[in-house]
Structure 1
Amino acid sequence: MSELADWEQLVKKQLKTENIYEILQKENLENIDVKPYYHNNSEYKILPKIEESTHLVAEFQDGLEDQAFAFFLNENVENLEEKTFFINNADLAEHILTEEFNRYFSLIDVFSDDKNAAIDEHLAKELLSKSFDRNICIDVSFHQNSGASIIQQLSFALAKAKDLVENFGLDILDKLLFKFAVGSQYFFEISKIRAFKYLFNQLSKEFGKDLIPYIFVETSLRNKAKNDQENNLIRSTLELASAMIGGADAVFCNNYKVEESTELSKEISFKQQIVLAYESIINVFEDATSGSYFVEDITHQFAEKSWKLFLEIEEKGGYLEMLKYGEIQKMIFEQAVKEQSWVEEGKIKIIGVNLYPKLEIKKPISELYNSSEIKPIRLAEIFE
């Protein structure tokens, strides 16, 4: 008998049923086939990242200059040397004076993600004129926080990159930074980042290049709650771990306090990254899960399903065209409402919200979601 057959016989005996897969396989929102047992693996390779060690990005505040080497900026900061800056403000990006002893990355997306469906060409050209390491951000963290599936996030990132190539030429592929948000599906989120490396490399090969994407990852806001905010610390710590293990080039931890953040909560949120990196060294590995049967399998499933959806988007005219007619909004709306209903039904468990809850449902789904608008919504808002 084969290794798989031996395992199946043993489990049938222990569970006292022939239908073991009905019991062991669980439904998931991504429609990914998660097997209860993996016994072999297809070909795999190490998926590289651009940075040797993942940047641990802090929101700038006085006193962190000696502790952080990478900063998330909304306003100009002077007299810092040998730092890496991730610029999140279009006005700042236009007027900042770059210094040769620092590095600069843009977190500014030039797409309007509404029915205006346009690229801000003036802003894009201004950003491309700067001596940044990466000039334009393709932000799909916005889509994740609005309820988009992993497959949708990956395909939207590709489709937006394709639209930029059509507007600005092939060289723009070398100047892109991709911003993702990671949620609490630990192994799925690791696989999401890994899958995008396959996907972007494949897209670049379609244009005669062989590129690795620069990936910036932040913790999700969608699964955070206003009450029992200490639970947000646990959720975001696992999210940071999945980002680093998945091979992100930079990570940023959003404040664990959804409202009324303080200087202390900012510092704690940053130091979550420090503890993970310095205690476990997971930020230095190039591809820690390479060769894991489970992770490799779901990585390839995400890549295949996302590439298929990307091609469907291209057949319909591309990301901007579908956005213009409300189709992208509708796709995200349907996924977001389904996810929210799973939270309401208890299929998705959020500690302190619908597991050991202290709250009751206060807002109907119909009040929170709109099929014609992409809008970031936290899953806990229905109870707050």
Structure 2
Amino acid sequence: MSADILPNWENLVKKQLKTEDIYSILKKENLEGIDVKPFYSEVQKPLANLPKVEENTHLVARYHESLEEDVFAFILDHNVENLEQKTIFVNNKDLAGHISPKEEDQYFSLIDVFNENEGTIDDQLAKELLSKDFRRNICVDISLHQNAGAAIYQQLGMALAKTKELAEAYGAEILNKLIFRIAVGGNYFFEMAKLRAFKIVFNQLSKEYGLNETPYIFAETSLRNKAVADNENNLIRSTLELASAMIAGADAVFSNNYLVNRSTDNSEEISFKQQIVLAYESIINVFEDASNGSYYVEDITRQIAEKSWALFVETEEAGGYLELLKQGIVQKKIYDHAVEEQEWVEEGKIKLIGVNLYPKLDVKRSIDDLYSEKEIKAVRWAEMFE
């Protein structure tokens, strides 16, 4: 938008709103503490193009025999023979222990070695995974944090803190052996900025060790905004989450079943085909950094990166991630944000069609029934009304 148009636009809005103070009226509140402007004419400092590891985003399905012909990447929970031509994301530590890769770069581990509620690392498991000839050996899983109600900057700050714990325990070379499992929520542009911001802060952390690494991001749809009795809306929400992840440059995407707490062969197939439609019809899985240059996305990316890095530094100065887990501080930070978020749902500031907007059921549970400040656990917003 050119400079000569801006005053006319501002004057028009002032006239329509009958006030000179248009920005306080148009400002939209958010729980992340991010300053969002009503319009953007520039960005403070343009960000460099943010690369991803894979050339094209992997479209990942939960393994099913009927999908073998059409799917190239699977999440695997049990042993399956003759998958040499597939990319495999191993989701079971017993299975990982028995795998001997026949192809270079075929296997990725989705196994997290952190015991979140105990504040420890499973050292034996970590060493076993690192001994494997996998392309990526250890997963840093922060999908739980998102589904438990952590703020975006908390998710990223904690991901960095977990990474630092691993680097200190097993050496800086572990940085290019990690895969980050991140749940993508329904705040479309913020979640896009989240993945982009993580690339910035992870690269900054790697430079502290004299490296220049890009994180491998495995993005999956969130459980937090899904409802048991609202399947069609679940499907729409997860489609937008997948689009956000692909545009942001995730290396792999996975759609959790849109049917909550149950699964059918048909629902598994539909959940995967969401990715197919987005990738083949919109071709958004091939771009490296599609939102680069958007003033809005660039600005919130920068703000999220700064807040995430600040939380990481604060965590390190306080003793590190594991120490704060043992003290219950990490759990309490997530709890405080999750409860505030749930209150927004209860008050209708966050709207879920069929749940708190045009509800199908007249049920309400208390926040105390859902959350515990001593435990990191996944809670769906809709559970309050189910």
Normalising by the residue count of structure 2, what TM-score does the alignment of the two structures yield?
A: 0.97
- Give 1:51's aligned residue: 54
- Give 1:274's aligned residue: 276
Q: Distance in 1 between matches of 2:106 and 2:327?
A: 39
- Give 1:170's aligned residue: 172
Q: Distance in 2 between matches of 1:33 and 1:5?
A: 22
- Give 2:75's aligned residue: 72
Q: Secondary structure at the match of 2:359?
A: coil
Structure 1 residue 333: deviation in Å? 0.3
Structure 1 residue 210: deviation in Å? 0.4
Structure 1 residue 95: deviation in Å? 1.0
Map 1:1-384 → 2, pairs under 5 A: 4-41=6-43, 42-100=45-103, 103-114=106-117, 116-384=118-386
Q: Distance in 1 between matches of 2:361 and 2:308?
A: 37
Structure 1, 36-45 or 312-321: larger mean CA deviation? 36-45
Q: Distance in 1 between matches of 2:321 and 2:97?
A: 26
Segments of structure 1 that go 5 or more residues without pairing to the other structure are none
Measured on the aligned residues, the alpha-carbon RMSD in Å equals 1.1
Question: What is the identity, as a one-letter code, of the residue corresponding to 1:9?
Answer: N
Q: Distance in 1 between matches of 2:186 and 2:167?
A: 33
Contact in 1 for aligned 2:231/2:259 (Cα 8 Å): yes
Contact in 2 for aligned 1:111/1:117 (Cα 8 Å): yes
Q: Distance in 1 between matches of 2:361 and 2:291?
A: 38
Q: Secondary structure at the match of 1:63?
A: helix
Contact in 2 for aligned 1:3/1:39 (Cα 8 Å): no
1:300-347 alpha-carbon deviations (Å, 9 max, x no partner): 000001101110000001110100000000000000000001000000
Contact in 1 for aligned 2:46/2:298 (Cα 8 Å): no
Structure 1 residue 45: deviation in Å? 1.6
1:142-166 alpha-carbon deviations (Å, 9 max, x no partner): 1000000100000000000000011
Seq. identity, %: 66
Contact in 1 for aligned 2:109/2:179 (Cα 8 Å): yes
Contact in 2 for aligned 1:82/1:102 (Cα 8 Å): no
Q: Distance in 2 between matches of 1:97 and 1:264?
A: 32
Q: Distance in 2 between matches of 1:65 and 1:121?
A: 35
Q: Distance in 2 between matches of 1:5 and 1:45?
A: 30
Q: Distance in 1 between matches of 2:199 and 2:334?
A: 23
Structure 1 residue 6: deviation in Å? 4.1
Contact in 2 for aligned 1:81/1:101 (Cα 8 Å): no
Q: Distance in 1 between matches of 2:83 and 2:178?
A: 25
Q: Distance in 1 between matches of 2:104 and 2:323?
A: 41
Q: Distance in 2 between matches of 1:366 and 1:2?
A: 54
Q: Distance in 2 between matches of 1:62 and 1:102?
A: 22
Structure 1 residue 9: deviation in Å? 2.2
Contact in 1 for aligned 2:75/2:89 (Cα 8 Å): yes
Structure 1 residue 7: deviation in Å? 3.1
Q: Secondary structure at the match of 1:58?
A: strand
Structure 1 residue 5: deviation in Å? 4.0
Q: Distance in 2 between matches of 1:2 and 1:30?
A: 33
Q: Distance in 1 between matches of 2:83 and 2:331?
A: 42
Q: Secondary structure at the match of 2:378?
A: coil
Question: What is the identity, as a one-letter code, of the residue corresponding to 2:341?
Answer: E
Structure 1 residue 8: deviation in Å? 2.3
Q: Distance in 2 between matches of 1:5 and 1:38?
A: 13
Q: Distance in 1 between matches of 2:105 and 2:215?
A: 21
Q: Distance in 2 between matches of 1:359 and 1:183?
A: 24
Q: Distance in 2 between matches of 1:101 and 1:36?
A: 49
Segments of structure 2 that go 5 or more residues without pairing to the other structure are none
Q: Distance in 2 between matches of 1:222 and 1:262?
A: 21
Structure 1 residue 74: deviation in Å? 0.6
Normalising by the residue count of structure 1, what TM-score does the alignment of the two structures yield?
A: 0.98
Q: Distance in 2 between matches of 1:29 and 1:6?
A: 32
Q: Distance in 2 between matches of 1:40 and 1:2?
A: 14
Contact in 1 for aligned 2:105/2:135 (Cα 8 Å): no
Provide the aligned length of Structure 1 versus Structure 2: 383
